[in-house]
Structures are given as C-alpha cells and as structure tokens.
Structure 1
Amino acid sequence: MAEFIDDSMFGTYFESFERTSWRLETRRGYASDRKSPNWARWQAGEEVGHDTPRPWGVNVQRQTAAGKRFERIRLVDDPPTEGQRFLLARVTNNEAAGEDIRYLWRAEAGKLRLPAVDFWLFDDRYALVLHFDEADEYLGAELVEGPARIAEFRRVRETAWPHAIRRSGFAAQVASRV
C-alpha cells in the first residue's frame, strides 16, 4: 500500500522545485472536474476557458516568471471522453498562466509503452504519484524518491514529449474526428 503525503503539503511541491515540474495525466476523467461549477457551465455550452486567476495559476505565473517550467502531457482516448473534452476546453487557463500542456492519443501512448500512472516529476529528483479510485476520486499523493522509479519517470517523459501535440494542433485533430 502506498504511503500518502499529508495533503496540506501537496501545494508546497509546486512552490519549492528548482527547475522543472512535469506531469503525465492518464485518467479518462476526474471526479473533481465533474463536481466543479465549470462542468455544468461547459455542459450547457458556455465558454469555460477563461477564468479569473486561481491560486494554481497565480503560482504557475510566479514560478515561470522565475524561469521554472511547468509541462504536462494528457493522454486522450479516441474518441475523447467527456472529461477529456472538458479539460481541452479549460486548458487555456493553464496555458495563460504559463504551463506547456500537450496531448497524446492513448493508442500512441500504448505503442510507446507509457504506464497508466498519473504523476508529477520534479527536477528529475522526486515525484508525486497521484492515486484515484474507480470513480475517479482523488485518494492521495505518494512521494517517490527511489532512483529506479525516478529513472523510469524520466524515461517516460523523454519518450513521450517528442510525440506530444500542442493544444491547437490536437484540437484540430479532435474536431476532424467528430
């Protein structure tokens, strides 16, 4: 059984890293998204890509202004799930804050032998593995510092990043498949 960090410490990892934070998102949806007010607005056809600054975005702006990088890849099914389409509609908030979010079709991720693990990798030294239950509810984050697992997470990033597609190109691919 994984040993989770204290949730009150979660945000500190995004403030204290030195150079890079990189995430692989593998879930088909997140319960927290479905519970947010933006979910209902999005389902009603409203624009949800531009919000007032939230704490996450404020921190990303502060960190990227200091020369640090926030990057992530989202795996997406074909056709995209409702949760994946929602995140695609919301991504401009994260991009405006300074994140570089890219996309990779799940079939391509399979060919690249990427794991089905959501994680953040910080400075190539430590990681937070995010755990979820079958209903996509967040259970907690496990701190990983072991060299073998960190090397595997670096391999995942180095393998996936060259194949990942920026939002504009990916959104065009999604639209062409509908």
Structure 2
Amino acid sequence: MPPLIPFEEITHLFAEFQHTAFRLETRRGYATDRAGARYRAFMRGIDPAPEPEHPWNVNVREKAAQGARFSRVRIVDEPPTDGQRFLMATAAGNIEAGEDIRVLPRAEAERLGLPDWDFWLFDSRTLVRMHIDATDTTIGVEVVNDPDEVLAACRARDAARAAATPSADVWARVRSSV
C-alpha cells in the first residue's frame, strides 16, 4: 500500500478546485456518521434537520456561485442499510446548497465495473483515493495524479452518473417503504 496522508491534508482541494468535485461512495455506512447525534436521532425515528450554515453547505453554495459543481453518486444496497438510509435522509440539505447527489444500486455498480472503493475526483485531474478500514473509518487518503488512474476514475464517474437516480427520488421510495 502506498503511504497514506491524513484526510485533513487534502481539505484545501474542496475550496481550490475550479470546475468539478465528484465523490463515489461505496460503503454501507461510515463510522463518522454513526458517531454523531444526528445519526442516533435518525435511528430513533427523528428526521435530520437541514444544516444550511454547516461549513460544507456554505462551501458548496460559494463554489456554485463561482460556477463550480459538487456531485456524488452513492452506491446503495437493496434494501439500503441504516447508514445508506441516513445519507439519503440528510442529502436534502446538501442538494439545497447546490450539490447533485445521485444513488445507484450496488448490483448496477457491479455490472458497470465501478470501483469498490471511495474516491474524490477534482477537476478531472486529481484523484483522492480514500482508504477506509473494516470499521468504516477513514484511515488516510492517497493523492493520485497518474493519468491512467485519473482517466479510469473519470470513466467511472461518467458511468455512475449516467446510470444513477437523483437521491430525492430514491429516498421518497425508500422512506415510504419503512
């Protein structure tokens, strides 16, 4: 495994990218979510309130005002796990801020040959591969500038976005079945 750097060392990329920041989410849940009060409340049946002033949403709005775009595709199981349902429930605030969030069934992601690991792709040039352990904790990231790997991530992004459904549409169906 290549040397990993702490996630905090790449956070500047979220403010510095010029055109696009894309995330592929492949996990069935994330430790940071499960550790939070919003997740625990969600598990008790309380819908997460939007957080328009959360630094993430503020940055998304600022970048959108500059003409840049945040997007992500979340790969979900059928039926979705609690962690995946939580992410869909909280997506509305991110979407309201200007982020495009879509959902793709895991079987379709596998059929498309998408990676089974999370990543961020900035301006179709910089790939940040997330390394996440068995407890769903990010243990570090790897910044990849190799043109072949970046191109593969661009192709994965394009395939995932084309096949995915807007998160709000999927959440409406999932929510009505719970």
RMSD: 1.5
Provide the rounded CA distance (Å) in 1 between the counterparts of 2:141 and 2:13. 11
* Cα displacement (A) at 1:7: 3.7
Match of 1:109 in 2: 109
Distance 1:49 1:76, change over 3 A: farther
Tell me, what secondary structure is at the counterpart of 1:85?
A: helix
* Cα displacement (A) at 1:176: 6.3
Provide the rounded CA distance (Å) in 2 between the counterparts of 1:113 and 1:12. 30
* Cα displacement (A) at 1:8: 3.4
Provide the rounded CA distance (Å) in 1 between the counterparts of 2:17 and 2:151. 18
Tell me, what secondary structure is at the counterpart of 1:120?
A: strand
Distance 1:81 1:93, change over 3 A: same
Q: Does 1:127 align with 2:127?
A: yes
Match of 2:118 in 1: 118
Q: Does 1:17 align with 2:17?
A: yes
Provide the rounded CA distance (Å) in 2 between the counterparts of 1:82 and 1:74. 14
Structure 1: gaps (5+ residues): none
* Cα displacement (A) at 1:177: 5.8
Q: Does the 8 Å CA contact 2:26/2:74 hold for their aligned counterparts? A: yes
Match of 1:139 in 2: 139
Q: Does the 8 Å CA contact 1:4/1:140 hold for their aligned counterparts? A: yes
Q: Does the 8 Å CA contact 1:63/1:69 hold for their aligned counterparts? A: yes
Deviations 1:94-114 (A, max 9, x none): 112111000000001111111
Aligned residue pairs total 178
Structure 2: gaps (5+ residues): none
User: Does 70-79 or 52-61 show the bigger shift?
Assistant: 52-61
Match of 1:43 in 2: 43
Q: Does the 8 Å CA contact 2:17/2:122 hold for their aligned counterparts? A: yes
Q: Does the 8 Å CA contact 2:103/2:165 hold for their aligned counterparts? A: yes
* Cα displacement (A) at 1:170: 1.3
Match of 2:77 in 1: 77
Sequence identity percentage: 43
Provide the rounded CA distance (Å) in 2 between the counterparts of 1:90 and 1:176. 16
Q: Does the 8 Å CA contact 1:3/1:142 hold for their aligned counterparts? A: yes
Deviations 1:85-134 (A, max 9, x none): 11111111211211100000000111111110100101111111111110
TM-score w.r.t. structure 1 length?
0.94
Match of 1:32 in 2: 32
Match of 2:170 in 1: 170
* Cα displacement (A) at 1:52: 4.7
For 1:174, the aligned partner's letter is V
* Cα displacement (A) at 1:75: 0.2
Distance 1:62 1:159, change over 3 A: same
